[in-house]
Structure 1
Amino acid sequence: MAIGDQYAEIKQGERGAWISIGAYLALSGVKLFAGYWFASLALTADGFNNLTDIVASIAVLVGLRISQKPPDKDHPYGHFRAETIAALIASFIMATVGIQVLIDAVRSLFAGKQEMPGLTSAWVALGAAAAMLLVYQYNRKLAKRINNQALMAAAKDNLSDALVSIGAAVGIIGARMGLAWLDLAAAFAVGLIICKTAWDIFYSSTHALTDGFDEKRLVTLRGTIERTKGVRSIKDIKARVHGSNVLIDVIVLVDPSLTLVESHQISDEIEQQMERKHNIMSVHVHVEPCISTPMPTAAVDN
């Protein structure tokens, strides 16, 4: 895939980020108003959850915008890691809001006085869940089509938000049935989900920024290269994540009698296999001759 096509796909991913931002703006406003008006802690917490999602979606959008900048003298590999940095910043903001939601829930518990949430707030939560499921389906399909990990992460966040809204509705309905503590429990659960989501984003972002890579996936990539015609063995292989891209450095051993042109053809075949089977375009192949080391002979005493 040409670099121009890759930038064009990233541009398409902006649509998904804008749709998420629009949906979260509308839903957070409705939830916060309804949660306050109908005295539902769970729905209010869900509204704050959507506020953090706005920040996360903006971070994805900014990351997509910056990652489209072409390589320059200071960034020879491009600016694709801007997506990862933006996600890392969003994780800190999400964690702050999640902790605040938990603190508010604990304060309400010790206050000992809880208002009965209105049933309308449950319908608001269920309507919001249905809307987020539609956004999730759209972003998921778009992320798969353009192979964009940042947008796929946003889609997964859309799905978790839909589940949170369903949980809020369950808590509200339970409170209306006489289990007043259930609304408070749902608010606490929402706070935990926000913190868990923040931690997952933080972990994956820092893992990528420190050049961490999934070992199982590396084994799969290694297997593809080893099965390439002309490759005797692999001396060394490394991989790292660069935004939505994967960069591979591999040293392969080949028949020492091959010409320079034949060795180069093997290198080209490895690059084609990585792109065709794993959608990886950035592969640096170093070819070395496979020279068997003779076994040492044992000394014979006369």
Structure 2
Amino acid sequence: MISLLARFFCKSDGKSPAQLRTAYGILCGAVGIGLNLLLFLGKFFAGTLSGSVAITADAFNNLSDAGSSVVTLLGFRIAAKAPDPGHPFGHGRAEYLSGLAVSMLILLMGVELAKESLNKILHPALVEFSWLVIGILAASICVKLYMAMYNRSLGKKLSAPALLAAAADSLGDCMSTSAVLVATLIGHYFQLPVDGWVGVLVALLIFKGGIDAAKDTIDPLLGKPPTPEFVKEIEDLVMAHKEISGIHDLVVHDYGPGRVMISLHAEVPATGSVMTIHDAIDNIEQELHRKLGCEAVIHMDPIATDDSMTVVLRNKITELAHCIDPALSIHDFRMVPGPTHTNLIFDVVTPFGFRLEDAEVARQLRALIRTFDSHYVPVIQVEHSYI
């Protein structure tokens, strides 16, 4: 059904990737509203007919899903708004906020369902059996499974946390409705009032789905690191230019899907032409925008590439840093010779959660360098990786 509707509402004619992404997000939200409202009506009728608290609660879970789809739809529409003076980086993070709102609704429904189910455990009663009820529950499972599949497929394709949250919710609904269906059959054939216990199980499944969905949307809001694949793409693209000797201090700023800004330091030969290298940097920034869809700011770091002594000494300092820990790396290495000593100026990068404090890293590295040759005076800046 989604593929059929996409032919009419998500045509790629003249649309940018961002516009096409928004069109798919709005379509998924609209379809989710319609299907969840139908499921709510069917399950509410089944719950009323059978007197089952689990079925009725499952019906209101679908009603909250319809509300979640409204939030998803609005999130995509807001995220598609162009940048303005108050939001110069656009409104892309509204999509993450909509995903967070969806997860909060899921958690709220889990709590309410748990309260109703505990009440049913304290006051157990058999539910009325009807094959119509069984048919409605079975149809609901099929519909929710279909919704989970298309939301997950498009969520991965579009890198949309809101759709992935909706997919997780739909899959949780499949499990919860299956549990309700099994409980209804057990109650009928074995005369066991398990409706309340199954309701608690359903509530726990819904609650877990809400927590997972919240984590998926909170992480990008707080600022999670880029994927290794994206970092590799950037590195390969930049290093493909012969003017670049190395890169470091890569930082990726995520302002929402399709709104990524990056900054990095590019090591270039100190003896190269400033105009030639600057032109190469401009070309790299444009290529990053064209191929990866991100705005880039690149800082040039001149390094001595034709001075054999500097190269040898840099490699030696790298070896000494690895004596402390192989995870350490150095960059921006420069030598400033003087009449009595030579300053070695460089940055050392430590990974997240490193076992040593910054000051201790610098102290140990200075000691190793002075032991190697007391003529050298290290000037060390300890930095942290953002990838």
Q: TM-score, normalised on structure 2?
A: 0.66
User: Larger % of strand: which?
Assistant: 2
Distance in 2 (CA, whole Å) between partners of 1:77 and 1:67 is 11
**Matched residue, 1:290:** 303
**Matched residue, 1:256:** 270
Segments of structure 2 that go 5 or more residues without pairing to the other structure are: 1-13, 305-332, 336-341, 344-372, 377-387
Contact persistence 2:43–2:136 (CA under 8 A): yes
Distance in 1 (CA, whole Å) between partners of 2:253 and 2:188 is 51
**Matched residue, 1:225:** 234
Contact persistence 1:171–1:182 (CA under 8 A): yes
Q: CA deviation at 1:117?
A: 4.5
Distance in 1 (CA, whole Å) between partners of 2:96 and 2:213 is 9
Alignment of 1:109-124 (within 5 A): 109-124=121-136
Structure 1 residues 185, 268: CA separation in 2 closer, same or farther (over 3 Å shift)?
farther
Moved more, 153-162 or 119-128: 153-162
Alignment of 1:146-185 (within 5 A): 146-178=158-190, 180-185=192-197
Alignment of 1:22-41 (within 5 A): 22-41=34-53
- Equivalent pairs: percent with the same residue? 24
**Matched residue, 2:104:** 92
Distance in 2 (CA, whole Å) between partners of 1:209 and 1:242 is 9
After superposition, give the CA deviation of every residue in 1:194-220 in whole Å (9 maximum; x if it has no partner): 222222232233322222336xx2x44
**Matched residue, 2:25:** 13
Q: CA deviation at 1:31?
A: 0.7
Distance in 2 (CA, whole Å) between partners of 1:98 and 1:7 is 35
Structure 1 residues 40, 236: CA separation in 2 closer, same or farther (over 3 Å shift)?
same
Structure 1 residues 253, 58: CA separation in 2 closer, same or farther (over 3 Å shift)?
same
Are 1:265 and 2:280 matched, yes or no? yes
**Matched residue, 2:148:** 136
The code of the aligned residue for 2:134 comes to A
Distance in 2 (CA, whole Å) between partners of 1:32 and 1:185 is 20
Distance in 2 (CA, whole Å) between partners of 1:61 and 1:87 is 10
Distance in 2 (CA, whole Å) between partners of 1:284 and 1:165 is 51
**Matched residue, 1:236:** 249
Q: CA deviation at 1:145?
A: 4.9
Distance in 1 (CA, whole Å) between partners of 2:172 and 2:262 is 32
Distance in 2 (CA, whole Å) between partners of 1:280 and 1:141 is 22
After superposition, give the CA deviation of every residue in 1:100-129 in whole Å (9 maximum; x if it has no partner): 110110111111334354443232111011
Distance in 2 (CA, whole Å) between partners of 1:29 and 1:70 is 38
Distance in 1 (CA, whole Å) between partners of 2:194 and 2:271 is 74
CA RMSD, Structure 1 to Structure 2 (Å): 3.0
Moved more, 172-181 or 41-50: 172-181
Of 57, 75, 78 in structure 2, the residue corresponding to residue 45 of structure 1 is 57
Structure 1 residues 241, 181: CA separation in 2 closer, same or farther (over 3 Å shift)?
farther
Moved more, 196-205 or 11-20: 196-205
User: Larger % of helix: which?
Assistant: 1
Q: CA deviation at 1:191?
A: 1.2
Contact persistence 2:103–2:165 (CA under 8 A): no
Q: Which has the higher contact order (CA 8 A, sep 6+)?
A: 1
**Matched residue, 2:294:** 281
Q: Secondary structure in 2 aligned to 1:72?
A: coil
Distance in 1 (CA, whole Å) between partners of 2:277 and 2:27 is 45
After superposition, give the CA deviation of every residue in 1:213-257 in whole Å (9 maximum; x if it has no partner): 36xx2x443333334224433331222433324443322323333
Distance in 2 (CA, whole Å) between partners of 1:251 and 1:3 is 34
The code of the aligned residue for 1:52 comes to S
Moved more, 96-105 or 147-156: 147-156
Q: CA deviation at 1:50?
A: 1.1
Q: CA deviation at 1:283?
A: 3.6
Contact persistence 2:124–2:196 (CA under 8 A): no
Q: Secondary structure in 2 aligned to 1:177?
A: helix
Distance in 1 (CA, whole Å) between partners of 2:279 and 2:164 is 36
Q: Secondary structure in 1 aligned to 2:51?
A: coil
Distance in 2 (CA, whole Å) between partners of 1:82 and 1:254 is 39
Q: CA deviation at 1:131?
A: 1.6
Find the structure with the greater CA-based Rg: 2
Structure 1 residues 87, 221: CA separation in 2 closer, same or farther (over 3 Å shift)?
closer
Contact persistence 2:151–2:164 (CA under 8 A): yes
Structure 1 residues 247, 298: CA separation in 2 closer, same or farther (over 3 Å shift)?
same
Contact persistence 2:252–2:262 (CA under 8 A): yes
**Matched residue, 2:90:** 78
Distance in 1 (CA, whole Å) between partners of 2:245 and 2:293 is 22
Q: Secondary structure in 2 aligned to 1:293?
A: strand
Q: CA deviation at 1:67?
A: 1.1
Q: CA deviation at 1:141?
A: 4.2
Structure 1 residues 235, 177: CA separation in 2 closer, same or farther (over 3 Å shift)?
same
The code of the aligned residue for 1:221 comes to F
Distance in 2 (CA, whole Å) between partners of 1:96 and 1:126 is 25
Count of residues in Structure 1 that have an aligned counterpart in Structure 2: 294
Structure 1 residues 41, 193: CA separation in 2 closer, same or farther (over 3 Å shift)?
same
Q: CA deviation at 1:27?
A: 0.2
Q: Secondary structure in 2 aligned to 1:287?
A: strand
